[in-house]
Amino acid sequence: MPGIGKNVVCEKAATSVDAFRMVTASRYYPQLMSLVGNVLRFLPAFVRMKQLIAEHYVGAVMICDARIYSGSLLSPNYGWICDELMGGGGLHTMGTYIVDLLTHLTGRRAEKVHGLLKTFVRQNAAIRGIRHVTSDDFCFFQMLMGGGVCSTVTLNFNMPGAFVHEVMVVGSAGRLVARGADLYGQKNSATQEELLLRDSLAVGAGLPEQRPQDVPLLYLKGMVYMVQALRQSFQGQGDRRTWDHTPVSMAASFEDGLYMQSVVDAIKRSSRSGEWEAVEVLTEEPDANQNLCEALQRNNL
């Protein structure tokens, strides 16, 4: 029937099973848009970083290092962000997109991971009594990626002060580092780093003046760039279901979303076992009752 199926741009899934179902549904309508909204991919700094890596600015990629320091992610009231089973926590909220970004930049996927998740703030003035936080507010993990690339990621959501977001790629010939929305680089032969790109998007030029205070400015800028790309993708199309792939070619697919969640699941397994864990991407939907039992056992309910 005509009109069945919609173009979809959505947030990451809460679980691997949800991500797998999204992939399965999207394959019924491959001509329609099915994208995961990782806005970091649309930031000019990371678009340029990917181009420079492809042009061998850093030579052969060896090491990736990312760190995010921020204040608490908890909302004033108890909600999904407080609960690991509901997709809360720093690893799922922001770490998922860092995993995707590093794979997007390098073209390498994580094969094995080792990680540690901690919840330092289990209760506060607004969350107390019988309720407590089970989602992580600190996470550190390592990834062994294809081609021998090693990555380290630190996520700390107990830091007062300015939001820190830094992604570095080190290769045999130099390094690239995105600090916030600006890109810097340094060749091995150079004595100091150079500014390669400074983000020119001002708050008044594309962002609402009364912007949400719980969303970092970097991610709001990425949202603006993504929406601009989506607009270009649909402009000039005779049918509202058709779209131009070129403006959104850097976007994450639902398959990428399943990969992101698979890495996150492996990091969580590693945190519980204390061992390196292989990244296993679902190829079929597991039994729902078994997943529920395992989740309840992990949270001692």
**Residue 207, domain member (yes or no):** no
Cα-based distances in Å from 194 to 52, 54, 178, 183, 203: 14, 19, 12, 9, 25
Give the Cβ contact number of residue 48 at 10 Å: 17
**Residue 237, domain member (yes or no):** no
Cβ atoms 215, 79 nearer than 8 A: no
pTM across the whole model: 0.88
Instruction: For residue 62, give both structure tokens.
Output: 């060896």
Write the secondary structure of the chain as one string of H (helix), E (strand) and C (coil).
Answer: CCCCCCCEEECCCCCHHHHHHHHHHHCCCCCCCEEECCHHHHCHHHHHHHHHHHCCCCCCEEEEEEEEECCCCCCCCCCHHHCHHHCCCHHHHHHHHHHHHHHHHHCCCEEEEEEEEECCCCCCCCCCCCCCCCCCCEEEEEEEEHHHCEEEEEEECCCCCCCEEEEEEEECCEEEEEECCEEEEEECCCCCCEEEECCCCCHHHHCCCCCCCCCCHHHHHHHHHHHHHHHHHHCCCCCCCCCCCHHHCCCEEHHHHHHHHHHHHHHHHHHHHCCCEECCCCCCCCCHHHHHHHHHHHCCC
**Residue 208, domain member (yes or no):** no
**Residue 173, domain member (yes or no):** yes
**Residue 32, domain member (yes or no):** yes
**Residue 1, domain member (yes or no):** no
pLDDT at 161: 87
CATH number (domain holding residue 226): 3.30.360.10
Q: How many domains does the chain have?
A: 1
pLDDT at 272: 93
Domain encompassing residue 44: 8-200+213-232+243-299
pLDDT at 125: 67
Q: Could you give the CA distance from residue 282 to residue 6 in angstroms, rounded to a whole number?
A: 25
**Residue 164, domain member (yes or no):** yes
pLDDT at 1: 40
**Residue 39, domain member (yes or no):** yes
Q: In order along the chain (301 residues), what is the average pLDDT of each group of 10 residues?
A: 73 89 89 92 97 97 97 77 77 93 97 94 72 85 97 94 95 96 96 94 59 77 92 82 88 95 95 95 77 56 45
pLDDT at 6: 84
